[in-house]
Chain A
Amino acid sequence: MLKKKWLLFFVLMLSVGFVLAACNEDDSSKEKENKTQAEGGDDGASGEPQKGGTITGAMDTAPAGVFNPIFYEESYEANILDFTHESLVSQNKELEFEPHLAKEWEINEDQTEITLKLEEGVKWHDGEEFTADDVVFTYKAMSTPGYIEAGGIRSSEYAERLLGYEEFSKGETDEFEGVVAEDDYTVTFKFTEPNVTILKDVGFSIIPEHIFGEVPIDEMPEHPATLNPGEVIGTGPFKFTEMLEREQYVLEKHADYWKQEPYLDKIVWRVVDQSVMLGLLESEEIDFIADPSGVPAPDYETASGIGHVEIIEQPDFGYQLMGFKINHRKDADVEAGKIEPDNWVPNEDMSEQKVRQAMAYAIDREALVDNLLYGHGSVINAPIAQQFWAYDEGAATKYEFDPEKAKALLDEAGYKDTNDDGFRETPDGKEWVVNLNYPTGNKLREDSAPILEKFLEDVGINIDLRQPKEMTAYQEELEKDNSDWDLYLLGWSLGSGDPDPVGLWNATAPYNYSRWNNEESEKLLKEAVKTPEAFEQEYRAKKYSEWQSVFSEDLPALLLYAQNKIYAHNKRLNGINPMPYSYNNEPENWWVSE
């Protein structure tokens, strides 16, 4: 029996040893901390660009695998398509549109037509010439009947406003009038109405007609030229040549690229779990961590502590919010999928403006940014990306953390603690419980929910923190708002094309999950795109500034924070020059120093 004791001892020793072995391994990251930290991107650009070399990037999820601009859906696929396909115009750091495949353009007076001159001598990856017919084909494909049914989702954003879209997409006519090739290198876009966002609308990635011309739209998503490396054809500086599905995606340089021959031979994307990314960056198995997730804020320290790593930090296009369900829809409307503001039923306590404002004052958003995001983000007060000309910091109410003011506002609105249970009751003396709903899928947002709960309870609001739901389930309940929801957490990542917030905050917009209906807001949003005044950016900026003031005062949602994108790359990589909206900018200029 003595032996059993030995066994016990042995087992315990083994377990302790195992765990210790696992945890006291190196502290190399800390040792390196005293080395200089690299911020910004100017020190690596020393010396002449060199030709050749392969770099490896990491993303945390594999692309779904549809490498066709008109059918792709997510940012992981975009990480391939950004290198392989190009559009007529692109945006610069100030988000102004610049020539790309189109070298110049002319817009008519009432902004219903734009005629673009295309670059000549642009070659597709297979050597064919790029012409105006490809442009026509791309937009025609997105307008073809059956495009949406085949899985396409881009028509509302890029094709809908084209002249004759309605008739063509319903199959009533075979003639596509929206985009016309004047000659091989001249193309004209025609719109039904004066178009304020005309340059954004012509900025969609072009697909080759000589490949897809004869393919029926419903077969396009399964076509080899959509799915297979080596067969995906674009005009971009890199070709998609090889893949190990779900693991590696290889891009090789397009030697005939029209701007210049890219320096790099190859760019390899590896799919790597978020948890080991930094380890691989440190061991130089990967060279850069970029979109869509970048380096998580809590890992910033670790990343910047690695000697050979350079970090670029910039604000992200998007924000996280805590929305107030101001109104609910009626069952019948939800059933029928109708969004009819006149039928809405106010959500008793959330429809009280003072309550919403009080909650805004009760939450210390600076603390969220400083601690949860480790300072790598910012507090914003209006739902327009801060990079845009339309963002007006000054116009919005700030709601700086002020619990006393929050309490005063609640008192004013009649929400007082009448029975001394520590929580406030409604003005008519009933128990007041506010539910807070949130989805899973974003670690920081999940962590923020119980913190928000605490801030709100500190001013005497009884919060029912609901169990987090998966996104799919969450969205369904969020949208079908005949439920009892009061507060909801959500994040939006915005487009960089145009700042117009109408798709998210207009009363009838489906994404207006707060069901916010404010006359003044409606009026301003309409005016902001009213032609011909709206052709002047200044006019629009003024209207949006007024709108931001209305938004932040009436407060359909409290904007919690805008995260920063943190990109990291090996210092041997040069020429990296991210745009505010994407890391994958001008990869033909990237090069490695040995």
Chain B
Amino acid sequence: MYKYIIRRILVFIPMLFALTIIVFGLAQLAPGDALSGKSLADPNVDPEIYEQQREALGLNDPIYVQYWNWISSAAQGDFGNSLIFNGRSVMELIEARFANTLYLGLFSLAITIIVAIPIGIYSARKPYSMLDYGATGFGFLGLAIPNFFFGLIAIYVFSINLGWFPSQGTLSSPGVSGFDAFTDRIHHMVLPGITLGLAGTATYMRYMRSEVLDVLGSDYIRTAKAKGMSERNVLYKHTLRNALIPIITLMGFEIGVLLSGAVITEQVFQYPGLGTLFLSSVMNRDFPVVMAIALILGILILIGNLIADILYSIVDPRIRYD
């Protein structure tokens, strides 16, 4: 097992390397650079100044020189300075956003699990009941609504008209701390969290339902029931454990989907996370930030996949890695 993990991690390195080359190439191919967008903002600034800054930043160097400069400092953990945020350190910019996105992701995952699993189980136990129909209907709808659209309507209804939840940001003021800060943060994450988790909830709900149905119909459960085990016992001892296996695996791979969704959801709610930062950095050609985020996401997804594989082998001992 350990050997397997180490081998997997060793494979990561060339893959991450390839990833940086691809993203760097794309970032450089894009027309214009970080300073070209700035220069139209203020006609009182002599464009010559931007030319001097370009030279100083090495933006006029050949692409392989720029890549080498980037990769050699990145290897030492230095991701350089942002070109758009007036030269602020990339790491510092990403740090706070990363935490925000992480909270949002975890929160929406929590909603997904809390909603999807019980309802999925209930639907499977009482198929064709009212709730089952409701849940299935919701499941289909959740997959059919573009999440930005859902977010816009949620803001309009729950934030503007009803005033139940804030529509912007992560906290109501910089002063809050302690437990208040925690509840405040949750309060701010309700709308974006639901929006982000919508599609996931729908998917998991349907998965859970069908997995439980599959397990309930299988021979060993029938045997267990025949042996006189109580309904409850059958459900919790056998059914759930087996039905959860695919769900757990799915979640490891779900990180990428969640992060994709975050790009759009964060935009709708002006939520200061990695998604909004990435989007604005791509648009403004802030390649040091783009590179750093791509690298971080790449590592996250690789780790997510690895954990999923490991968990899979733990819950299902038939699977072995060596």
Interface residue ranges, A against B (CB under 8 Å): 3, 6-7, 10-11, 14-15, 18, 21-22, 25-26, 62, 64-66, 71-74, 148-151, 153-157, 221-222, 227, 242-248, 250, 268, 270-273, 275-276, 279, 283, 337, 469-477, 479, 490, 492-495, 497, 503-504, 510-511
Contacts and interface: CB of A to CB of B under 8 A. Distances in A.
Nearest to B167: A276
Contact of B36 (A74, A268, A475): A475
Contact of B284 (A65, A151, A472): A472
Contact of A6 (B43, B133, B152, B175): B133
B322 interface: no
Contact of A66 (B38, B42, B53, B86): B86
The 9 lowest CB-CB distance pairs between A and B, nearest first, are A472-B32, A156-B46, A246-B272, A149-B56, A473-B31, A279-B160, A472-B37, A66-B86, A244-B174
B47 interface: yes
A510 B56 contact: no
A11 B141 contact: yes
A476 B38 contact: no
B270 interface: yes
Given A6-B133, A474-B32, A475-B36, A71 B86 contact: yes
Contacts of A492: 43
Given A250-B173, A272-B270, 4 more contacts: A3-B128, A71-B87, A153-B42, A247-B170
A337 B36 CA distance: 14
A503 B47 CA distance: 10
A22 B153 contact: yes
Among B50, B51, B133, B137, residue most surrounded by chain A Cβ atoms (within 10 Å): B137
Nearest to B82: A64
A156 B137 contact: no
Contacts of A21: 157
B157 A14 contact: no
B161 A271 contact: no
Interface string B150-168: 0011011101110100011
B89 interface: yes
A295 to B, nearest CB: 16
Contacts of B42: 73, 153, 493, 495
A272 B283 contact: no
Interface residues of B, number: 64
Interface string B84-102: 1111110000001100000
Interface in B239-289: 269-270, 272, 283-285
Contacts of A154: 45
9 contacts: A21-B157, A22-B153, A25-B156, A65-B86, A149-B52, A250-B174, A273-B269, A472-B31, A473-B32
A504 B174 contact: no
A14 B169 contact: no
A14 to B, nearest CB: 5
A494 B269 CA distance: 32
A15 B43 contact: no
Contacts of A472: 30-34, 36-37, 283-285
Nearest to A13: B137
B163 A62 contact: no
B88 A22 contact: no
A125 to B, nearest CB: 18
Interface in B114-166: 128, 133-134, 136-138, 140-141, 144, 152-153, 155-157, 159-161, 163
B47 A510 contact: yes
A156 B49 contact: yes
A248 B272 CA distance: 11
A153 B43 contact: no
A516 B188 CA distance: 53
B230 interface: no
A276 B160 contact: yes
Nearest to A68: B86
B40 interface: yes
B270 A273 contact: yes
Contacts of A155: 49
B203 interface: no
A7 B169 contact: no
B41 interface: yes
Nearest to B33: A472
A222 B89 contact: yes
B137 A221 contact: no
B219 interface: no
Contact of A503 (B31, B44, B161): B44
A510 B152 CA distance: 42
B285 A271 contact: no
B80 to A, nearest CB: 12
Interface string B214-230: 00000000000000000
B240 to A, nearest CB: 26
Interface in B22-67: 30-34, 36-53, 56
A299 to B, nearest CB: 14
A14 B134 CA distance: 9
Contact of B52 (A148, A474, A503): A148
Given A10-B133, A148-B49, A150-B87, A476 B174 contact: no
A150 B163 CA distance: 45
B171 interface: yes
Given A21-B157, A73-B38, A504 B89 contact: no
A156 B47 CA distance: 9
Contacts of B153: 18, 22
Given A151-B53, A276-B155, A476 B36 contact: yes
A266 to B, nearest CB: 10
Contact of B133 (A7, A149, A268): A7
A64 B86 contact: yes
Contacts of A270: 168-169
Contact of A221 (B33, B41, B87, B285): B87
Nearest to B136: A7
